[in-house]
Structure 1
Amino acid sequence: MNGTYRAIRLEKTAPSFREGCVIRDVPLTQPGDGQLRVRNLYCGINGIFDTQIARNSVDYVTITLPTYTGVEALGQVEAVGPGVTGLAVGDAVVTTRFTGGYREANIGPAGDFLKVPSTDPDWLALCSTGVSAMVALDVIGELKAGETVGISAAAGGLGHFLVQIAAQRGCHVVAVCGGAQKAAFVRSLGAARVIDYTAEDVRAVLDADYHNALDVAVDTVSGAIHDAFLANLANHGRLVVGGAAADLNGKPEIVSGPRIANAIYYKGASVRGFMNGLMTAHWPAAREKLFALYNEGRIKVHFDDPRYHGLESVFDGVERLLSGASSGKVIVDLETAR
């Protein structure tokens, strides 16, 4: 890297991630006490989060401009600072700390990194999005074997893990996605019923075929899909809210219908917020379960096609994810030469 590396830095608030960010050269220094220096090989794209960061619309993250960006990266340890144990030069590691993702190198506390078996990008997706899916279902959703589970954005990075995990538990998965290609993909993951929202009305299908039948529903979309899930929760059903892509403009939702009590009181149902960053105590157990499924070949990682290469293409990856066209996890290979 010739004494420097490149990183994407947000330098102004803007309507989009691309408009607010600049790629900057950063000095490549030695790690200090308790630190690692890692050469990043892959980064994971979180387009909604990135866009909201650019707009300064993430309530739980306080940013001071300029700030570096990105959350997820997989890399290889290049240097180990004094006092670090259990990690060595050449080890593969993953980080899921904000500002550690969209950069060609990363220097930070050893505790910010998790050692993984190899630099295969599967481990990036498993440690980040896969763990989120496991925690959302097991801890927040309290999923039980054989339940009926609704999943929105089922072909996406999070959704494709949710479908597989639920199917592995013998659950009847009702997956919502857009387009015939995505529907076929989600069906191949084990979904029992796929609702293609471009060809079917989600609320009508659920009202007809899954009336008051959803034991667990995981929604990251909000809007009409959230309402359809909420209306069709079973007795003691749990609606897990993991995002609100339909509200990307950063404005709070407007209550224009009956309040939520009408939908949950008589069923003893609940609506539960899932914020993975607040669930760190549950990550180790989730990793153990998820990694076992992966090593047994019962969970597979799917990456979006096309694949992106080089730090510059992070912006294209963000826009690809926001377009709704992606299937599986969107990542960038950072190793491509400048």
Structure 2
Amino acid sequence: MLPAHYSAIQLQRFAQTFREATNIIELPLAQPAAGQLAVRNLYCGVNGIFDTQIARDAVDYVKLTLPILTGVEALGVVEAVGEGVTDFDQGDVVVTTRFPSGYRQWNIGAASDFYKVPDARPEWLVLASTGVSAYVALHHIGEIKRGETVAISAAAGGLGHLLVQIAKNLDCHVIAICGGEKKGEFVKSLGADCIIDYRTTDVSEFLNAHYKDKLDIAFDTVSGPIHDAFLDNLAPHGRLIVGGAAADLDGKPEVVSRPRIANKLYYKSASVRGFMNGLLADKWPPARDALFADFIEGKLKVCIDEPQFTGLEGVYDAVERLLSGQSMGKVLADLR
């Protein structure tokens, strides 16, 4: 029997931080309608930059009407099945990556929004969400080829640590950019060939000295000087993938005066490519299949950030942990 109520984090106002913009509320829990599932969430993935932008109403592709629930991806157990649903049974472990499915104890949604995973380990959630982003970005936007030279910003993060491994599994030479000795050792353990600590080393000077015009793929989620350094050192036919702009979180991109980007691309036949995972949903199922197979075979390691964040209250601390720049691997919250 389903409980009468459940708790969720609801965006109730726009503010500068996720904590200021939201409240934990109680909502009635209805039986699933035809074509729906009722899922008890066990884990949710935390996306602190996205959450902060949502709190500020700064995500152009998400039209918000207050109040609205929050969070994106979650792993849980099917507790009830609506009429007409034949592909799921009570007790199945499922994942969803549909906003706003994450920061809530229970999720009622269309069966088509969920897919089964082998068991309740949180690693499946990481692979099905952040892992899919990494795979699709490298394979379908970056058109990665075996043996290429690949540079990755924020390489110790939830996305970055998977990008490193996917590239290494294709025998690529991986340049990992991260901050601090501990993170450097972490990405080295994942196979990175060259580690640049941006806190102690000028990334532009290092790349100019050691990788001048040698970056086949550069994956950037930071923007700012690292983006510029990548752009300056693309190889002939190199591809700079823009997967985010953490340095522009305040919505005030730096205004720069420099030659137009065509001057850096034309003579190399290079390109800058935007990566928006939501526009590539048709690529998600085969990406999941490939990632799951590699994980089962031991070719891919999923790293979850060490601090344990528990319950919906823990989501707030998890968001702030991610924004602090201290996290390594994927940040999750345990909702059990």
Counterpart in 2 of 1:51? Answer: 52
Counterparts of 1:49 and 1:195 in 2: how far apart (Å)?
Answer: 26
Q: Which amino acid aligns with 1:165?
A: I
| Equivalent residue pairs, number | 335
Matched, 1:129 2:99: no
Provide the secondary structure at the position in 2 that maps to 1:279: helix
Measured against aligned partners, the alpha-carbon deviations of 1:199-218 in whole angstroms (never above 9, x if no partner) come to: 11111110000000000011
User: How do residues 241-256 of structure 1 correspond to structure 2 at under 5 angstroms?
Assistant: 241-256=242-257
C-alpha distance in 1 between matches for 2:48 and 2:234:
29
**Aligned residue runs from structure 1 range 266-285, under 5 A:** 266-285=267-286
Matched, 1:333 2:330: no
Give, in whole Å, the separation in 1 of the partners of 2:257 and 2:68: 37
Aligned partners of 1:20, 1:151: CA distance in 2, in Å?
32
Aligned residue runs from structure 1 range 1-338, under 5 A: 2-335=3-336
Structure 1: unaligned runs, 5 residues or longer: none
Counterpart amino acid of 1:131?
A: V
Amino acid in the other structure paired with 2:84: G
CA distance in structure 1 between the aligned counterparts of 2:104 and 2:237, rounded to whole angstroms = 45
Task: Return structure 1 stretches of 4+ with deviation > 6 angstroms.
Answer: none
Per-residue displacement from partner, 1:222-257 (whole Å, max 9, x unpaired)?
000000001000000000000000000023452422
Give the unaligned 5+ runs of structure 2: none
Distance 1:256 1:87 in 2: 56
Q: What TM-score, normalized by structure 1, do the two folds share?
A: 0.98
1:224 is aligned with what amino acid?
A: P
**Residue 263 of structure 1: CA displacement?**
1.1
Q: Distance in 1 between matches of 2:296 and 2:32?
A: 33
Q: Distance in 1 between matches of 2:40 and 2:229?
A: 45
**Could you report, residue by residue, the CA deviation over 1:54-108 in whole angstroms, capped at 9, with x for unpaired residues?**
0000001100000100001000000000011110000000010001000000000
**How far is 1:133 from its partner?**
0.3
1:228, 1:45 → 2: CA distance? 29
Distance in 2 between residues matched to 1:76 and 1:174, nearest whole Å: 39
116-125 vs 288-297, which moves further = 288-297
Paired AA for residue 11 in structure 1: Q
Distance 1:8 1:34 in 2: 25
**C-alpha RMSD of matched pairs (Å):** 0.8
Give, in angstroms, the shift of residue 307 of structure 1.
1.5
Q: Deviations over 1:130-158 (max 9, x none)?
A: 01000000000000000000000000000
**SS state at 1:78 partner:** strand
Distance in 2, Cα, partners of 1:77 & 1:255: 51
Q: Which amino acid aligns with 1:45?
A: V
Shift of 1:258: 1.8
Aligned equivalents of 1:11, 1:250: Cα separation in 2: 21
Question: Using the alignment, how far apart are the partners of 1:24 and 1:271 within structure 2?
Answer: 43
Deviation at 1:114, TM superposition (A): 1.1
Between the aligned partners of 2:235 and 2:8, the Cα distance in structure 1 is 47
